[in-house]
Amino acid sequence: MAIRVHSSSAGLDPAALVPGADVVLEVDPAHGFDLPGGVAVRDHLDDEDRRGADVQALEAVNRWRAHADEPLTVDGICWPQVLEFELLTRFTPLVADAVGLQRALVGACERDVLLGDAEPRTRFLVDRVAARHGLRVRGERREIATGQYERSGRPPLLRRLRHDLFTSVTTTLGVPTRLAPASTLLRGYWPLMPLLDAMLGDPGRRPAVTLTALPSGPRRTLRAAAQGGWVGRPGPRARAAARARAAAALRGLDLPDVALDVAGLDLGPWLRPAAVEIVASRLAARLWTAASMRRALSSGRIERVVVPFDDEPGGRLITLLAREAGIPTLLVQHGAYFLPCVVADMTLADRVAIWSRWVVGQRAPDPRLHEVGYPLAGQPVPPRAAQGAHPRIVVLPQPHHPSTAVVETRAWMRHCVTAVAAVRDALPEATVTVRPHPADPANLAPLIAERFPGVVVDAQTPILELLAGHDLCIGATTSATLQAALVKTPVVFLNITGHEWDFPFGGATAVPIARDGAQLAAALTAFGRGSPIPGREHLLRALGADRPDPTPALLALLDGAAEALEPLVLAGVGRSEGDD
């Protein structure tokens, strides 16, 4: 009997797929819970395999970059370095699927492989495995259904329209840069807003903004623009010149066919064109952004730069250009780091302010890091809503990101179904709200509402207000799980990933951890009987919210008074417990 390989489970009956006879590369979100174990290609990878796939993907990126960095350095900027994180998000899924598919096909002890469809990526992987192991490949034609993936946390309509209009006008016409002397350029992101507010409240400070990443709210933007200025957008002529420059750089590009071997399979014929496509599709827009930013940074008017990350392309580009101009940079941590990532954030900035040592992942000793506390520690939090007759439970789904194979793609659905089913079993009178992460695909949450009538999906209510309106949080590896402690909403952490997390979601933590539906139902039953849920102190410690308002420390770092703060020299922290 042949083993059949499907590009996607979309359009198929998951109950009809049989482990050992069927392998699926992409699990339809609707099948994330119902697909039998052993059918999804990554079911054939254990936790060590998945962590190994992350490392192998980065190694493949680095091997490609060894030959591509020089020819793809345009206007003095190495674009494979700027786009390294995006390259990783394309390499990692293919590497993980290649390793899993090889395990699945060889482990099935079948010599015949039947292609369930004609999708090119699947055919490539099957052919690579078949050539190495002497398998026979046969094919059949089937149209492939794919899901639509949009961000779920879309802002309200009025805000979107305002943003789209602003972006369209400024991009079409261009906006000249205007900067006050001795300004501080700040790339907008929500953890930076308390720092920006403090700077706006001091007439002696000149916070400036970049139109490519504005602060939260038009009032902040206008005040910062008046006080410190802004970095504008290039006009039509500059954009046309950038497009011509990008076309000239890519014309005749001839990179060597370097082998990108993973688990004995050369994935280069697929990964090399994918990598070039990533750079080529972004080069023109990045070139005109870089030219505008470089002029601003070389104007002599910017004294320092503040960014929320230096791994994604926008943050990395501005950090590299600031380094080129000799301008010091401060990175303020943008969120909690739980999902592993082999392309680390916080590697380029001169100074780094982190919330706490427990939410920055595994890092080598680094004197640039300063533990300052949670950015919003000094901000008011919503009051807790009075508890009604029936418990109110909020479920925070387990996120997945293509930059890592450690969390499988169907973890979101498995997490939600396990959580809601446990609530219905243990606390049938409870109301349940699912809060998707802003980066989650928009088509996931409605599937939960369809499966469990009465479940509410809320992607719009401010997170602290939402958490304060619930009596219990079923958490995952997100910052929001830590934030529940701010409003005294108890947390039970659900871990269905097979990966053991660090403190406070593992190790010597007081936070209750459930690894399946039965354990979660037991914790919910105890909660329903009035048993207190421990762990709030550990969540606050991990968040850095057990410290005072960090804004004075951030201002000291901005002013170059780092000697007033002791650097945090990390040495294997976060692996087990939260003890000082």
pLDDT above 50 (res 129): yes
Residue 175 DSSP one-character state: B
User: How far apart are alpha carbons 272 and 253 in whole angstroms?
Assistant: 12
Q: Enter the tokens of residue 329.
A: 């940079």
pLDDT above 90 (res 205): yes
**Could you tell me which of 484, 481, 469 has the C-alpha nearest to residue 431?**
469
Q: Enter the tokens of residue 575.
A: 């692996």
CB 53 within 8 A of CB 247: no
pLDDT above 80 (res 20): yes
Q: If you classify domain 392-543 with CATH, what class do you get?
A: alpha beta
Which pLDDT band holds residue 275 (cuts at 50, 70, 90)? Answer: very high
CB 319 within 8 A of CB 305: yes
3-state secondary structure of 540: helix
pTM (predicted TM-score): 0.89
pLDDT above 70 (res 458): yes
User: How far apart are alpha carbons 447 and 528 in whole angstroms?
Assistant: 27
Q: Tell me the pLDDT tens digit for each residue of 143-154.
A: 444 443 333 445
Predicted local confidence at residue 162, as pLDDT: 52
Q: Tell me the pLDDT tens digit for each residue of 31-53.
A: 999 999 999 999 999 999 999 99
Percentage of residues in the chain with pLDDT exceeding 90?
Answer: 75
Q: Enter the tokens of residue 171.
A: 């991009």
pLDDT above 60 (res 92): yes
Stated as kind and residue range, the H or E segment containing 218 is helix 218-227
Predicted local confidence at residue 437, as pLDDT: 87
- Residue 140 dihedral angles phi and psi, to the nearest 5°: -145, 160
Do strands 302-307 and 183-186 pair parallel, antiparallel, or not at all (unpaired)? Answer: parallel
Q: Enter the tokens of residue 266.
A: 């050369």
- List residues bridging with 48 in a β-sheet: none
Mean pLDDT on 104-131: 90
Stated as kind and residue range, the H or E segment containing 422 is helix 411-426
Which pLDDT band holds residue 562 (cuts at 50, 70, 90)? Answer: low
Mean pLDDT on 452-477: 95
CA angle 397, 399, 402 (to 5 degrees): 155
User: How far apart are alpha carbons 546 and 36 in whole angstroms?
Assistant: 44
Which pLDDT band holds residue 477 (cuts at 50, 70, 90)? Answer: very high
Mean pLDDT on 277-290: 96
Sign of CA dihedral 233, 236, 238, 243: positive
Look-up of token digits 């945090």: 568
Which pLDDT band holds residue 164 (cuts at 50, 70, 90)? Answer: low
User: How far apart are alpha carbons 316 and 84 in whole angstroms?
Assistant: 9
pLDDT above 70 (res 563): no
Predicted local confidence at residue 441, as pLDDT: 77
Helices (H), 33-109: 47-68, 79-82, 84-107
Residue 318 DSSP one-character state: H
User: How far apart are alpha carbons 380 and 546 in whole angstroms?
Assistant: 15
Q: Enter the tokens of residue 283.
A: 């080069």
Mean pLDDT on 526-542: 96
